[in-house]
């Protein structure tokens, strides 16, 4: 498959499946990646959310016009990658260009892919969380709403910002915070922790 | 219906429907409110996202155990209210207690409801955005995944933080920022603006 054999330097650790929803619970914008028959691609999606705790499931909207959608439909697999603030331009870039019209899209926006051990899925290097998913076939949702449901089969996170089943953004560099897209090239980073006194 | 006749002091303005998705695009945690036959209720939901631009649609997960779900199913209407940081305890409270076991739940957590002109839906006072929705009936999604799809029929926002079709958190008090729930009583507030240079 068309992915660079890079060695990510971040401390990437598996996330137990019963904690995987917490990667997505705060509503970050994701990069959707998929691979089929030697072709890999990455697109941006602000419309993604958890759908269940155990087994963990997710929902994501993938437009019919995207090249990535064809890869998902052909392989029945996809990855939700969580980009960080350092990757805002990359995220906007892969969300604006299509591999249909710009075949060098990934290289143009500095996207490097890697696969964890025992996986063949393409993960985006430099992200801070990854959810490997298997499509739960729901043809009506896919056709009528561009809505894909998936079961999470494995998850990983950058231990500098997610460990022991929790995000720890307050203790990490600001460029490792996740992103929340609005419109027109503008994101908000995940912000200050708000803890309700007395909560467990 | 069981809602206080309060006069909200915030500058609440209608949001054009073609900009309504931007209220939800950055993935905030929402309060889901609904009313039927004189009963209103409010629950918290971290699993909500836009589903389409125009007409605007949304998706939200509403567990079968919730009292609010019955109101949604009976009325085919619901509201996604966007709580702000000042409402973190309220949000956690209505997300933890059920009106099934605590009938005074709304009063106990300081929830006040109001309805805009020409609407009968219950909106939560003190929130910074509201999306009034009509259920798009999808019985399979509702039963199998607790997943409700809705078309947005009207939207409003607190003009101190959302105007001209954009969030303006950087210019407003921090307690008006939206919330992103993680787990265990912990939220992240919507954080710093990240603008990609050269983007439109």
When pLDDT is cut at 50, 70 and 90, the band that residue A1 belongs to is very low
Chain A contacts of B183, Cβ < 8 Å?
22, 25, 165-166
For the segment A79-96, the average pLDDT, to the nearest whole number, is 97
> What pLDDT does A105 receive?
94
Asked if residues B130 and B178 have their Cβ atoms less than 8 Å apart, the reply is: no
pLDDT at A4 over 90: no
Q: Which residue has the higher pLDDT, B73 or A171?
A: B73
> What pLDDT does A19 receive?
97
Which CATH number is correct for A12-189, 3.40.50.1000, 3.40.30.10, 2.60.120.10, 2.30.110.10? 2.30.110.10
> What pLDDT does B120 receive?
86
For the segment B61-84, the average pLDDT, to the nearest whole number, is 97
For A6-45, write each residue's pLDDT tens digit: 445 789 999 999 999 999 999 999 999 999 999 999 999 9
Phi–psi pair at A92, nearest 5 degrees = -65, -40
Question: What residue in A sits closest to B90 (Cα-Cα)?
Answer: A196
For the segment A46-63, the average pLDDT, to the nearest whole number, is 98
| Nearest by Cα to B153 from B77, B85, B59, B98 | B77
> What pLDDT does B110 receive?
96
> What pLDDT does A199 receive?
76
> What pLDDT does A5 receive?
47
When pLDDT is cut at 50, 70 and 90, the band that residue B148 belongs to is very high
Is A187 within 8 Å of chain B by CB? yes
- The C-alpha torsion from B181 through B183 and B185 to B191, rounded to 10°, is -30
For the segment A53-74, the average pLDDT, to the nearest whole number, is 97
How does the average pLDDT of chain A come out, rounded?
94
pLDDT at A120 over 90: no
CATH T-level assignment (fold) for domain B12-188: Pnp Oxidase; Chain A (2.30.110)
Interface with chain B: mutation pick from A20, A21, A27, A152, highest number of B CBs within 10 Å: A27
- The C-alpha torsion from A32 through A36 and A38 to A41, rounded to 10°, is -20
> What pLDDT does B67 receive?
96
pLDDT at B118 over 90: no
The b/e string for B130-146 (b: 16+ C-beta within 10 A; e otherwise) is bbbbebbebeebbeebb
pLDDT at A63 over 80: yes
Is A18 within 8 Å of chain B by CB? no
For the segment A86-96, the average pLDDT, to the nearest whole number, is 96
> What pLDDT does B197 receive?
86
For the segment B8-12, the average pLDDT, to the nearest whole number, is 80
For the segment A133-159, the average pLDDT, to the nearest whole number, is 98
> What pLDDT does A200 receive?
58
Is A191 within 8 Å of chain B by CB? yes
Contact state of A49 with B50 under an 8 Å Cβ cutoff: no
Domain boundaries, chain A: 12-189
> What pLDDT does B41 receive?
96
The b/e string for A38-51 (b: 16+ C-beta within 10 A; e otherwise) is ebbbbbbbbbbbbb
pLDDT at A2 over 50: no
For B21-59, write each residue's pLDDT tens digit: 999 999 999 999 999 999 999 999 999 999 999 999 999
Task: Name which of B26, B92, B194 is nearest A199 (Cβ-Cβ).
Answer: B92
Task: Name which of B140, B186, B198 is nearest A195 (Cβ-Cβ).
Answer: B186
């Amino acid at each position: 498959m068309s992915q660079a054999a890079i060695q990510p330097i971040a401390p990437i650790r598996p996330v137990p499946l019963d904690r995987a929803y917490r990667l997505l619970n705060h509503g970050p914008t994701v990069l959707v990646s998929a691979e089929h028959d030697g072709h890999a691609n990455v697109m941006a999606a602000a419309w993604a959310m958890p759908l269940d705790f155990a087994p963990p499931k997710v929902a994501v909207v993938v437009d019919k016009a995207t090249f990535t959608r064809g890869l998902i439909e052909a392989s029945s697999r996809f990855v939700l990658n969580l980009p960080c603030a350092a990757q805002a331009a990359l995220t906007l870039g892969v969300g604006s260009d299509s591999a249909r019209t710009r075949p060098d899209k990934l290289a143009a926006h500095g996207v490097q892919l890697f696969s964890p051990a025992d996986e063949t899925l393409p993960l985006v290097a430099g992200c801070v969380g990854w959810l490997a998913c298997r499509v739960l076939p729901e043809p009506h949702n896919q056709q009528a709403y561009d809505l894909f449901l998936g079961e999470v089969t494995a998850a990983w996170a950058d231990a500098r910002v997610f460990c022991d089943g929790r995000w720890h953004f307050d203790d990490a560099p600001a460029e490792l915070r996740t992103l929340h897209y609005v419109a027109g090239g503008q994101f908000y980073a995940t912000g200050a922790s708000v803890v309700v006194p007395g909560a467990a």
